[in-house]
Amino acid sequence: MTHASARRGRAALTAASAVALTLLTPGAAGAAGGAPVAPTDLYNAGQACSADPAAPVVLKGATGLGGPGVMGIPSHTDPSVTNLNEEFRYWPVSAPEQTGTVTRRGAYAGEEATGTLPVLADGLTYAWQARTVDPGNGAASDWTAACYVTADNTAPAAAPSASSPNYPEDQWTPGGTPVQFDFSANGDTDVVGFQYTWQGGFVGGASETGPHGVPIFHSVYEDPEHAVRADTPGGSATVHLVPPAGSSGPIQFQVRSLDAAGNASPIRSYWVVVNSTSPTVSQLSHSPLFGKPTDFRLTPDQGVQAASPVVSYTVTDTTTHSSTVVPAGADGTAETTLVLNNPAGNSFEVTSKSANGWVSSKAQWSRRIDTTPTVTSTDFPEFDLGGAVGTPGTFHLAPKIPGTQIAGYTYDFGWGTEAVTVKAGPHGEADFTFTPTASGWYDLQVYATTKDGLRLSTGVYTFIVN
C-alpha cells in the first residue's frame, strides 16, 4: 500500500467526548454538605481503559518510574471541596485476593490525577479500579467498575526482514520513484506492526494533554511515514517511502518490529544507494554584475522527470539560508531571476520536487566576486617605497564593479588607528590625503558602503614610506 506523506488530522478529544467510566453512583459515606464522586475519564498509560476483561489494553508492565500510570478525574458534590485524594486498587485477574492500593494525594477536583502502579508481572492480566476520598473527613465514593490491562514486558526477539523490489540493497539505483519496502515478522505472532526511520531516530506514538488533563493518545501507526500495522499478528506489510529530501548515495534505512505494548525488536538496517537526481542550473544572463538581476533556467534530471513530473524547485541562498519556491512548467523546467548582491559572491542550492513527493539531490551554483574598492596612489605606490614622513599624499578610491552605487568609503591604517569615513562623489569615487608620521610598512584597510546601506568587502593596500 502507498502511504500519503501528510499525517492524518486529529480531532482533539475533550473531557466530554473522552471515554468516561463513571459506572457506579457515589457512596453514601459523604459528609454533610456533599460527598465525593467516583472518578471519571479512566486511562492507563495514556490509553482509554477497557471495561471488557476479554479485550484488555496491552501495555508495558514496567517503566522507568515503576509500573504503568493510571488516571481518573476525582470530583465532589460540594464545589467548595477541591482538594481530594484518589485511590487506585489493582489485582491479578487470576488471583483476585492479591489486592494492592496506591493513593494519589492532593488531587484537584475536576482534573485528571495519576497514580503509578508497581511493576506488573509479564503476561498477566490485571484489573484496577479508582475511587475518590475526601481527606477532610475520610468519606469515599464507591469504586468504579474495573478496567483491564495485560502486562507485556518482553520485546520481540528477532529483527524483521526487509527487502525492496525496486531498490535492491547496496546497489546503485536511479532515483525519482518512492522506495517499496516489504517487511515480515517471520511468523512471530507477538509482532503487530513495524516502525521505521531514515538515518536514525524512531518517532511517533505519544500522548497530548487535553482539557482537564484528559490524555489524547496518538498511536505510532497514525503516522504512515514512520510506522505500519502488520496485515496479521506475525505477518507482513508493504510501504512506499520517499527518502529524505536531497538524498543521494548510500542512505541508511532502519526498521524494527513492535508488539502490542510497543516493545521494539532489534533493528534491521537496509542501505539504499541512489544515483544523483540533481537538476541542472543554467545562467542565462551574460556576466552578471554585482547587485543586478540575473536570469537562470532550472532543468530537471531526465530520470526524475520520467518517473514523475517535476512540479517545483526550491532555491536556497546558502549564505542567508533563505529559500524561494519556483513553480515548474509542464515540461518540468522553470526560469527565475535572482539578484546577486552578496559582497563576497553568491552560492545557491537547488532541489526539484516531483508530483510523487520525491525531492532531488542538490544542485549547486556559485560565483565568487570581488567587491573590494580599487585603491590607487601615485604618492604611495602599492608594495613599493614612496612618500616621506610629514609629507601628505593622496589616495584615490573607486568601485571595482562598474555601476555599483557607492555612498562612501571607510578606511583605517591597521591596529590602533581610528577609522575614517569619506563621502563618495557622483560616480562613486573619493579621494583622501594621508600624512605619515613614521617610515616603514603600512596597511590601508578600506571598504565601501552602497547607497542601500550594504557594506562591501574590505580590501588591503600595502605600501612603504621612505
- For the chain, domains (ranges, CATH) are 36-151 (2.60.40.10), 161-274 (2.60.40.2550), 280-368 (2.60.40.10), 374-465 (2.60.40.10)
Nearest to 136 by CA among 76, 71, 73: 76
- Give the pLDDT confidence score for residue 24 in this predicted structure: 35
pLDDT given at position 199: 80
Q: What is the mean pLDDT of residues 267-289?
A: 91
Give me the helices (H) in 4-47, please. Answer: none
Percent of the residues in the chain that have a pLDDT greater than 70, as a whole number: 92
Question: Amino acid identity, residue 444?
Answer: L
Q: How many helices (H) and strands (E) does the chain have?
A: 1, 34
pTM (2 d.p.)? 0.76
What DSSP element (H or E) covers 306?
A: helix 302-307
Q: 63-98 burial, b for 16+ CB within 10 Å, e for fewer?
A: eeeebbbbbbbbbbebeebeebbbbbbbbbeeeeee
Q: Kindly state the average pLDDT of the residues 18-35.
A: 45
When mean pLDDT is compared over 1-10, 56-65, 284-293, the highest value belongs to: 56-65
Which segments within 124-202 are labelled E, that is strand?
A: 125-133, 147-151, 161-163, 172-173, 179-184, 191-198
In the structure grid, which three cell numbers stand for residue 317, read together?
541562498
| Strands in 172-305 per DSSP E | 172-173, 179-184, 191-198, 206-209, 215-218, 227-229, 236-241, 249-259, 268-274, 280-283, 293-299
Taking alpha carbons only, the member of 375, 405, 390, 397 closest to residue 439 is: 390
Q: What is the pLDDT of residue 206?
A: 77
* Mean local confidence (pLDDT), 418-440: 96
Answer for the pair 265, 159: CB distance below 8 angstroms, yes or no.
Answer: yes
Instruction: Please tell me the least confidently modeled range out of 4-8, 97-101, 151-155, 436-440.
Output: 4-8
How much of the chain exceeds pLDDT 90, in percent? 81
